[in-house]
Each structure stands twice: as structure tokens, then as C-alpha cells.
Amino acid sequence: MNALKFSRKNLGIPYAVFLAVFVILPLILIVYYAFTDANGAFTLSNFTNFFKSPTNVTILIRSFGIAFLSTVLCLVIGYPVAYLLARSNLKKSGVLLMLFVLPMWINFVLRTAAMKELLYFLGMYESGKLHYLNTVIGMVYDYLPVTILPLYTVIQKLDKNVLEASSDLGAKPLYTFINTTLPLSMPGIVSAITMVFLPSTTSYVISDTLGNSKVTIIGKLIENKFNSGAADSWQAGSAIALVLLLLIFVTMFISGKFQNDDDSSARGNGLW
């Protein structure tokens, strides 16, 4: 009985169970379906069928293009905001931060629908040619809060002495920023990229609502495959999901490289 005594490690069990049931098991199922045909026999045709169609490859590249653009825009807009909020001596910076994060508290679908009305009001649908732009705007709008938060946390924790040292050693402010602040806030940037890039490749609610379903991204393609009604619909969908998963691993690997290159493990690393 002694062996069943509570130890601190046991605290991890609920998560381990959760992991096994909701993460590992579905992954195994996806892999299983991706490599079998409708009768359960091993096949690679799900993958060859996917890559044979130029449309599918276009959709894949497009998803990554839209995600890349959204991520860059989020960083370009979010970094200065996070920097100002974290570095300035504003008394009410907490309130300001809340204002930026506030949209996150509103339901995602509702937010997107409201965004559409706003864009319509601004005449973004007049020409009928701006579906990509509208989609990217929607992505940036939806993911800006999750960009600002990690950046804010990391920048706020930066050691002021390091920045002062840089200045004392003769670096101009811009030089200090590029050589000291930016590398030190890299963990926050990588977190932000992970938080924005990965979901925006697949969140087709935004592209459907704001692009009037005229912008097909990879998430939508997977949904279409699953609901095609053909006998191998799950197999075809799973194969695409697996391809996407592999590409995401590659992206994670690359962004992980960034994190390791900078020896900033002391601060805010592994924040997310």
C-alpha cells in the first residue's frame, strides 16, 4: 500500500491521461487514416492524390502566405505597442494593456462577424476584389492580442542594467535596440509567432466570413475533404492534416533554432 502513497509526481497524472486520450490517441488515428484506404489497406495514394492537384498545393502555399503576412503585420503592429506599454512609465499601463487584450474576451466568431460589418461599412466589399486583404486584416485583428501579451511580458522583464550598460559603452539608442533589446526579447517574438502563425494557417472561420468563402485555406480544404461524402473522405482529410502537421513541425523547428541561438534562457524563455 505504501507504494500508492501520494507523491508530487502524481500531480502530473491528470495531464498525462488527458494527453494520452485527447492528443496522442487522435494523432494515432490521423496517422492510421492517412496511410490507409477506404478498406483499411495500407496505401500512399492519399498523399499522391493531394500533391497531384495544383489547386491543393496552391491552397497550401496560400495558407502559409496568409499566415506569414498576418504574423509579420502582427509583429510590426504589436511590438511597438508592447514596447511602449512595458517601457514607459505610464501610470495606467495596466488599463491600456487590458484595452488591447479586451477583444480576446469576446467570442471569436462574434468578433469576426462584427469585423465583417465594419469592413463592409468601410467599403471593403465594394470592388469585390479585396477578399485576401480582408482576410489578412481579420487575422491580424484576431491575433493581435496574443502577439502583444508575450511581447509585453518579456520586454517588461528585461534587465534595465543591460540596456544602460549598452548605452554607457557608447551605443546609440537605435543600436542598443537592435543589438540588445531585440535579441533579448526574442523568446517573446518566437512565442508570438507560434501563437499567430500556426492558427492562422487553418482558422477558416475568418477566411470564410471575411473572404465570403472565396478564399480557401488549408483548414477549409480539410473540412471539405472530411465532408465530401465519398467513402475515403476521412482518409483524404487525414492525409492533408498530416502534411500540415509536418510542415508545422518544420516551422516550430526553425523558430526553436532562433530561441536556442540566443542565450536568453534566463528570462521569459518557454513562456508559452
Partner 1 sequence: MRKFLCFLLCCLAVFSALCPLPSGKAFAAEDLELNIMNWEEYIDEGDDETPSVIDSFIEYYKDKYGKTVTVNYSTQGTNENMYTELNVNKNHYDLVCPSEYMIQKMIKEDMLEPINRTSLNVDVYDSGVSPYIANLFKQITIDGKSLYDYACCYMWGTMGYVYNPLFVDQSDVEHWSAVWNEKYDNKCTIKDSVRDSYVLALGYSYSKQLLELADQWKKGEITAEEYNLQITEIFNKTDYQSLSLALDCLKVLNDSLYGYEVDSGKKDMAAGKIWINFAWSGDAVYALDYAEDPDMVGQSTAELYYTVPLEGSNIFFDGWVMPKGANVELAQEFINFIQRPDIALRNMWYIGYTTSIATEEIFDYLVDEEEGYGYREEDVTLIDGAYFVGEGEDLTEVFPVDLTYLFAREAGDSYVVYTDTLGRQFSAQYPDFDTVNRCTVMRHLSDSELTELNNIWADSKEGTSGTKGLYIAIAIAFGLIVFAAAAIWVDKTGILNRHGKKGYTVVKKEDIY
Q: Name the minimum Å distance from CB 251 to partner 1.
A: 14
Q: Name the minimum Å distance from CB 96 to partner 1.
A: 29
Q: Name the minimum Å distance from CB 35 to partner 1.
A: 18
Q: Name the minimum Å distance from CB 167 to partner 1.
A: 8
Residue 29 or 98 with smaller CB distance to partner 1:
29
Report d(CA 238, CA 120) in Å as an integer: 36
Residue 66 or 97 with smaller CB distance to partner 1:
66
Residue 195 or 240 with smaller CB distance to partner 1:
240
> What are the residues binding partner 1 (CB under 8 A)?
3-4, 9-10, 13-14, 16-17, 20-21, 38, 53, 55-56, 58-59, 61-62, 65-66, 68-69, 72, 120, 125-128, 131-132, 167, 169-172, 174-175, 178-179, 208, 211-216, 221, 224-234
Buried b (16+ CB within 10 A) or exposed e, 196-216: bbbbbbbbbbbbbbbbeeebb
Residue 50 or 100 with smaller CB distance to partner 1:
50
Q: What ranges in the chain are assigned the alpha helix state H?
A: 13-19, 25-34, 45-52, 54-87, 93-101, 108-121, 131-156, 160-168, 173-176, 182-184, 186-202, 204-210, 218-226, 233-261
Q: Name the minimum Å distance from CB 192 to partner 1.
A: 16
The number of angstroms, rounded, from the C-alpha of 1 to the middle of its chain's C-alpha atoms is: 46
Q: Name the minimum Å distance from CB 48 to partner 1.
A: 14
Q: 42 has which bridge partners? A: 36
Which residue, 121, 158, 107, 183, is CA-closest to 267? 158
3-state DSSP call for residue 122?
coil
Residue 126 or 263 with smaller CB distance to partner 1:
126
Residue 90 or 164 with smaller CB distance to partner 1:
164
Which residue, 24, 43, 37, 268, is CA-closest to 157? 268
Q: Are 124 and 134 in contact (CB under 8 A)?
A: yes
